[in-house]
Each structure stands twice: as C-alpha cells, then as structure tokens.
Amino acid sequence: MSEKKTTKKKVSLTVWIFLALVLGVVAGIALQSHAEFAESYIQPFGTIFLNLIKMVVVPVVLLSIMQGIISLQDIKKVGSIGGKTICYYLLTTAFAVTLGLIFANLLQVGAGYQLATEDLVYEASEAPSFMDTLVNIFPSNAVEPLVSATMLQVIVIALLFGFGIILAGEKGETAKNVVDSFSEVSFKVMGMIIKLSPIGVFALITPVVASNGPSVLLPLLKLIVIAYVVYVVHMVLVYSSTVYGIAKMSPLKFFRGMSPAMIFAFSSASSVGALPFNLECTQKLGAKKEVASFVLPLGATINMDGTAIYQGVCAIFISQIFGIDLTIGQQITIILTAVLASIGTAGVPGSGMIMLAMVLESVGLPVEGIALVAGIDRVLDMGRTCVNITGDAACTICIDALEKKKEARKARK
Ligand code: ASP
C-alpha cells in the first residue's frame, strides 16, 4: 500500500495518458464529419507536443549514450553489453518477420481480394541500398547530424566521444562532468515535456480517428487484424519469455510498467519520440540508468520488430493480391532484407513503409503494391511502433539482469 502511495504521481500520469487515448478515440469518432476541424485545431497541439519531444531527443540520446559509456568506464564492458544487445536485437527481429510470414501464409492474408490493381501508382521514394545504409551510419561532420537529428550518426558521435573521454583519463574529467551535468539537465527538461503527454496523446489520436474513420479500414481489415495478431503474439511470446527467462521478471509487471511508453508509441507512431518515456519506464522497472541509456537509444534507432512483422505480412499480402507465388527461398530473402530494412528504418512515423519498397524489390514484387496499404499505414504504424519500443525495453531488462548477475559473480570472487 505504501508503495502505491509513493508511486501515486506516476500512476496517475499513466491513467491520464490512458484516459486521453480513450477520449481521443471517442472525440475522433464524434468528429468524423468535421475531420477538417480536428486537423486544423486539434492536431496542432499534437504537433507542438511532438516538436518538443523531437527537440529534446537529440540532447537526450547524445548525452545519455555518452554518459552510459563513461559510467561503464571500460571500453571492453561497452563492447560486451553492445554485443549482447545487438544479438538480442537481430535475433528477435528475424523471429518477428518469420512469425509475420508464417501467419500471413497460413491465414492467407491477401486471398480473396478483388482490389483494382491496374491503376495503382506508388512513387517509391528511393529506399537506400544496403551499402548506402552502411556508409550513411558514419558522419562526415560532427555537428550536422545533431542539427538534422540523424539518429544513427548521433549514436556514432556519442560512442566515439564517449570512448574519447574514457581514454583521455584525468584530462577528460572536465568533459565527463560537463556530460554528466548536461545529461541531468536534459532529463529534467524531458520530464517536464512528459508531463504534457496526456494532451499530446489526445491531440494526436483524435484527428487520426476523425479523418480515417472506421469505414476506411474495412476492405483492408483482414490485413490489419492479422498484423495486430502477430504484433501481440510476438510481444507475448518473445518479450514475456525473455524478461521472465533471463531477468526473472513477471511479464505482467513488465507490460504494466511499460504501458505509458506503449500508449505513447501507439499514438505518436514514433520510436524516437517514445524514447524519453521508455527510459523512464525501464528505470522504474529497475533497469540501471547506464544500461537503459545505452541499450534504448540504440534500439530506438536499429531495433524494429514491429516494422519487420509489418514488412513480412505486407509482402505476402501484396504477393497474393497480385497472384505471385513466393518460393521458400524468396521468403528467406524477405527475412534477411526485412531485418536489414528495419535497421535502416528511422524511428519516425511512416518510415517503415518507405523501407517496405526495399523488401518488395528484393524478391521482385511490384512496389506499386505499397499504394494498397498506404491508406491504412498509420493504423499499422501505431501497432508496429508499440512493438518496436517494447522490444527495446525487453532487451534493456534482460541486459540489465545479465550485467547484475555478472557483477554479483565478480563480487563473490
Ligand atoms: N514508426 C515506426 C517507429 O517509429 C517506424 C516505422 O514506420 O515502421 O518505430
């Protein structure tokens, strides 16, 4: 009971966010015939909120990764955490897309549709090639990525400068203190913005419901339902079992603790935007700050299980609509490209759809098929983003537990 009292403030924010989501949906349904009103007068408040989040994300990512590295004090330790994190991320993403393919094949996601496919037009906005994606990770300028919020590059800068501070030893002490201090400041700024989230969630969800309305969703309902079933199955199967198996945490506690971040990811469709929430939720679940601040920003940038599921399900959907049979070999290609595509997907709304072009092209499926799913992308995006960030959090909880075990073992020796 007393614990309840101490966390009362946080719990009430969670409840507020949830209420805002429900109210937003209700208001959206009520405003369906006045969608323009919702877009002109309600959405701007959502935009203001997202702007504030975006504003604070670069300093938070840069400083928290640097601080995480500095506090680990040892490049080897960063390597060991980084290695485990990347393994977790890659394996779960490959599993996610495989699950998507299995469900989509078994449930015949695109069968029985008579959609006019002749006059489909989708201008594939160039999905970058794998080599381009690789080259683009490394910035040629130390400031520009911070200005344009190119997250992978920001992470590289944070890693290199974090290592630099460790290597500089005593002479790096001032830099370390500056990072510590500014990191604390940006977390406080983030905290202030998070308090506004019920307003943000309401203002973001209302116009989506008002302008899409339930009727638009009908023809593609099967695709939506199957995608969401896989989202849920993946979360329950993979995240429950890993947090329980590795960290001995009850899945219920995990999902309950994660709910504010999940609701925010759902309504904003942005992993990067949800990062501040994720940092807070995982730490409340007991993860050490130094682990969370290294594993989460990396995950928000490269780990996208939900996006991989979406890409697998959509690839099968599009192949079936166009009557193209995919061989097992082609489906394996989809798994590989979807894993790469999800790494290259930026944690912002809609970017998974752009990367879908890369997946379709890898097996010769018509990119125009994207036009079929573009209309409902937002609906699919909300769910996949929710999965994306929950995967980052599950990994954080597991890595944190492994690190704690390692420390305990060392202490015993
Ligand atoms: N919106 C997703 C995210 O931010 C990315 C995507 O479009 O799949 O995680």
Checking if the pLDDT of 286 tops 90, the result is yes
* Ligand 1: nearest atom to the Cα of 351: 7
pLDDT tens for residues 94-110? Answer: 999 999 999 999 999 88
pLDDT at 196: 86
Checking if the pLDDT of 298 tops 90, the result is no
Q: What is the largest CA-CA distance in the chain?
A: 70
Element (DSSP H or E) covering residue 222: helix 221-234
pLDDT band at 92 (very low <50, low <70, confident <90, very high): very high
* Ligand 1: nearest atom to the Cα of 377: 7
- The predicted model gives 302-330 an average pLDDT of 91
Checking if the pLDDT of 279 tops 80, the result is yes
Contact criterion met (CB below 8 Å) for 389 and 262: yes
Give residue 308 CA to ligand 1 midpoint distance, Å. Answer: 10
pLDDT at 58: 82
Q: Is 347 in the pocket of ligand 1 (CB under 6 A)?
A: yes
Give the CA distances from residue 301 to residues 348, 354, 389, in Å, rounded to whole numbers and listed in that order.
10, 16, 10
pLDDT tens for residues 182-199? Answer: 988 987 887 788 788 789
Q: Is 271 in the pocket of ligand 1 (CB under 6 A)?
A: yes
pLDDT tens for residues 36-48? Answer: 999 999 989 988 9
- CA-based nearest residue to 194, from 395, 342, 60, 31: 60
Checking if the pLDDT of 1 tops 60, the result is no
Cα–Cα distance between 38 and 207 in angstroms, integer?
A: 5
Closest C-alpha residue for ligand 1 atom 3: 347
Q: Is 269 in the pocket of ligand 1 (CB under 6 A)?
A: yes
* Ligand 1: nearest atom to the Cα of 300: 9
pLDDT band at 117 (very low <50, low <70, confident <90, very high): low
**Greater pLDDT, 344 or 207:** 207
Residue among 204, 381, 382 to mutate when testing ligand 1 (max atoms within 8 A of CB): 381
The dihedrals phi and psi of 107, each to the nearest 5 degrees, come to -90, 5
Q: Is 305 in the pocket of ligand 1 (CB under 6 A)?
A: no
Q: Is 388 in the pocket of ligand 1 (CB under 6 A)?
A: yes
Give the CA distances from residue 355 to residues 93, 241, 344, in Å, rounded to whole numbers and listed in that order.
15, 29, 8
Chain-centre distance of CA 283, in angstroms? 17
3-state helix, strand, coil in the chain (%, to 5): 85, 0, 15
- The predicted model gives 85-96 an average pLDDT of 95
Residue among 345, 358, 370 to mutate when testing ligand 1 (max atoms within 8 A of CB): 345
* Average pLDDT across the chain, whole number: 85
- The predicted model gives 261-288 an average pLDDT of 92
- The predicted model gives 327-352 an average pLDDT of 84
Q: Is 352 in the pocket of ligand 1 (CB under 6 A)?
A: yes
Considering the entire predicted model, what is its pTM? 0.78
pLDDT at 312: 96
Give residue 232 CA to ligand 1 midpoint distance, Å. Answer: 16
- The predicted model gives 201-205 an average pLDDT of 84
Closest C-alpha residue for ligand 1 atom 7: 352
Contact criterion met (CB below 8 Å) for 354 and 127: yes
Angle among Cα 326, 330, 331 to the nearest 5 degrees reads 85
Give residue 348 CA to ligand 1 midpoint distance, Å. Answer: 5
Least confident window among 240-254, 274-288, 339-353, 375-389: 339-353
Q: Is 257 in the pocket of ligand 1 (CB under 6 A)?
A: no
- The predicted model gives 320-344 an average pLDDT of 86
Closest C-alpha residue for ligand 1 atom 8: 352
Q: Is 385 in the pocket of ligand 1 (CB under 6 A)?
A: yes
Closest C-alpha residue for ligand 1 atom 6: 352
